[in-house]
Amino acid sequence: MNYENLSNTATPGALKKCPGCGAECDSKQNYCTACGTSLNVDHEKSDAFQNWDQNQQYTTQNPNEARLVVNENDLAYFICDNQVYYRNKFQKMRVTNSKISWNWAAFLFGNCWLVYRKMYGICAIVYSTNFVFSRLLPYPINLVFSLALWVCYGLFGNYVYMRHAENEIIYGKTMDDNSKKYYYIKKGGTSGRSIAVYLLLEFLFGFLFAFMKNMVKALI
């Protein structure tokens, strides 16, 4: 995503600091050209923006692992699209030490949201689990199980994404700057094409399962 196109073309004016990443921006711009944060919103009224700084760091939330450090600027670079929303949610979860934070996109689109945010491994695990249990459990228990899973998407989607982003960022910290940026672009951001691929694979897998089921019935 190119944030240069988000700024207006007015003549340069005084500089002001972006509340999202700390970059110096022209005061007449509407959005930060570095991270896309709106420069016209009074972020000082939001607790989630008060301590954001380009080089600010924080330790990961999971108490069962080593206290690993994540840079806020790397987090913004990794998330890219809609990063203001997610950084806001992440910081609130860290402050409250909570794993629950509602995400409507995760609730409504489920696995499509996972692959859109490039969490392919998590999507494969959740899809396989739901596929197996929805067929092993009797009706209507299987329906209740599927509905409960969608609610879990909404409740824990932001936490799962935060942990995913933190793990990838920490892994990227072992690389040089150029390799790290390339890795974050590859692993982070969003992918609309992945949704199309997922839907196609889901259709083919469902078709193959139905075909094999009918073949087994015919042989029996």
Lowest mean pLDDT among 12-26, 126-140, 145-159: 12-26
Find the mean pLDDT for residues 93-113: 94
Rounded Cα–Cα distance for residues 200 and 45 (Å): 45
For 136-153, what is the mean pLDDT?
A: 91
Question: 13 with 26: CB under 8 angstroms?
Answer: yes
Q: Using 50, 70 and 90 to split pLDDT, how confident is the model at 86?
A: very high
* pLDDT at residue 207 is higher than 60: yes
pLDDT of the residue at 152: 96
| Identity of the residue numbered 160 | V
Local structure of residue 29 (DSSP, 8 states) = -
Strand partners, 57: 71
pLDDT of residue 166: 92
- For 105-121, write each residue's pLDDT tens digit: 999 999 999 999 999 99
* Nearest residue to 86 via CA among 97, 75, 95: 75
Band (20; pLDDT cuts 50, 70, 90): low
pLDDT exceeds 50 at position 7: no
2 pLDDT above the threshold of 70: no
Q: What is the pTM of this model?
A: 0.70
Produce one character per residue of 64-85: b if its CB has 16 or more CB atoms within 10 Å, e if not: eeeeeebbbbbbbbbbbeebbe
In contact, 84 and 37? CB cutoff 8 Å: yes
**For residue range 156-185, what is the model confidence (pLDDT) as tens digits?**
999 999 999 999 998 998 888 889 888 998
List Cα–Cα distances, 29 to 32, 82, 172, 178, in angstroms. Answer: 7, 18, 31, 28
